[in-house]
Amino acid sequence: RKSGQLKENDQNLAGEDVREGLTAVISVKLPNPQFEGQTKMKLGNSEVRGIVESVVNEGLDYFFEQNPSPSKKIIEKCLMASRARDAARKARELTRRKSALETTSLPGKLADCSFKEADLCELYIVEGDSAGGSAKQGRDRRFQAILPLRGKILNVEKAQLDRILNNEEIKSMITALGTGISDDFDITRLRYGKIIIMTDADDDGSHIRTLLLTFFFRYMQELLERGHVYIAQPPLFMVKKGKEEHYAYSQKELDAIMERIGRSNYTVQRYKGLGEMNADQLWDTTMDPANRTLLQVRLQDAVEADLTFTMLMGDKVEPRREFIMEHAHEVRNLEV
């Protein structure tokens, strides 16, 4: 680093980088030498090691100071070995990543649709097996596919790539969408024109949506830039009066319905989760293109979104706390 050959941000050279191609001849004379093994290829006197290390280090330091030209060439050789080792590591990681993603079969829990034209097809990413079962029964099998997720997916903001690719829920999404991720992402291989996140209208559902959006932003950002990602809006209330059923998506809508139908001989059901709706109700309220409400997710400002995702999903707690305190008065349910 003193000579400028190793920059401040460069990693230190590893021992294997320095030892590559190295041949050393060291003569040691001592009484009663002890050798290891039948072939006597290794000296067994442990006290010699420290002495040899000290003498050799001092000699090398002196040589490098007195001979800058060959010293520079030796360091260049070590740097070349380091770069080659790093390139080989990246190649291995790329091979592992591709092998993890390239598969001829779709995930077993995916209920695919029959249409093959991506622009006509929709993928519902659904929270939980219970809601996934209702969605599979209530969907239009021609153009709607269902992928149920078990619980919260991995927070990719804090995880290494190998751990991300070993996560079964994320692997299922990557395989189902067909595009690959990061540098291997190819939008022309997208299998669905609409990717719809459908979760419960509670804190857990909000967290799952945030985790999914973080994954899409980090590894499939073009999906957001092109407007392929949507958030389903299931109803919060069902008002039943006689044989009539009315759905409300907010407290304000509920109040309006109550004023319209009258406040007598009625029941109100507050949906705590998607699993409380049967297949017909889920279709009528959340999946039928003629009746449903979808929120399209767009990234108007990628830089601002990047900072927000890092703040909300990263390791640093204080910026996240400040953000929540600053915006808590603006909304009743803070969501991403």
Predicted confidence at residue 309, as pLDDT, reads 65
Looking at every residue in the chain, the average pLDDT score rounds to 82
Residue 196 confidence (pLDDT) above 90: yes
Task: Please give the average per-residue pLDDT across 27-55, as a whole number.
Answer: 84
Phi, psi of 229 (to 5 degrees): -105, 135
**Cα(266)–Cα(271) distance, integer angstroms:** 16
What is the CATH code for 118-234+281-327? 3.40.50.670
Specify whether the CB–CB gap between 189 and 180 falls below 8 A: yes
Active site residue 306: no
* 15-101 and 118-234+281-327 have identical folds: no
Specify whether the CB–CB gap between 86 and 109 falls below 8 A: no
Longest distance between any two alpha carbons in the chain, whole Å: 107
Specify whether the CB–CB gap between 135 and 124 falls below 8 A: yes
Predicted confidence at residue 292, as pLDDT, reads 92
Active site residue 225: no
Q: What is the pTM of this model?
A: 0.63
Predicted confidence at residue 200, as pLDDT, reads 85
Is 147 strand, coil or helix? strand
Q: Which two tokens stand for residue 64?
A: 């490098």
Q: Which two tokens stand for residue 113?
A: 């649709």
Parallel, antiparallel, or unpaired: how do β-strands 144-149 and 229-232 relate?
Answer: unpaired
What percent of the chain shows pLDDT beyond 90?
24
Specify whether the CB–CB gap between 86 and 10 falls below 8 A: no
> pLDDT, tens digit, for every residue of 259-293?
888 877 888 888 878 888 889 989 999 999 998 98
Catalytic residue among 202, 222, 276, 306: 202
Active site residue 10: no
Catalytic residue among 140, 204, 222, 306: 204
> pLDDT, tens digit, for every residue of 144-160?
999 998 877 888 877 88
Dump the DSSP string for 155-190.
-TTSS-HHHHHT-HHHHHHHHHH-S--GGG--GGG-
Predicted confidence at residue 289, as pLDDT, reads 95
> pLDDT, tens digit, for every residue of 312-336?
666 666 665 665 555 444 443 444 4
128: confidence class by pLDDT, cuts 50, 70, 90: confident
* Domain boundaries, given as residue ranges, for the chain: 15-101, 118-234+281-327, 237-270
Which residues are CB-neighbours of 197 under 8 A, at least 6 positions away?
A: 125, 208, 209, 212, 213, 229, 230, 231, 232
Catalytic residue among 17, 157, 200, 284: 200
The lowest-confidence range among 36-45, 52-61, 174-183 is: 36-45
Continuous segment of H or E residues that includes residue 275: none
- The single residue listed with the structure tokens 């929709």 is 122
Active site residue 202: yes
Is 267 strand, coil or helix? strand
Q: Which CATH architecture has domain 15-101?
A: 2-Layer Sandwich (3.30)
Catalytic residue among 17, 122, 127, 169: 127
Dump the DSSP string for 277-307.
S-HHHHIIIII-TTT--EEEP--S-HHHHHH
The lowest-confidence range among 115-119, 181-185, 267-271, 298-302 is: 298-302
**Cα(314)–Cα(304) distance, integer angstroms:** 15
Residue 173 confidence (pLDDT) above 90: yes
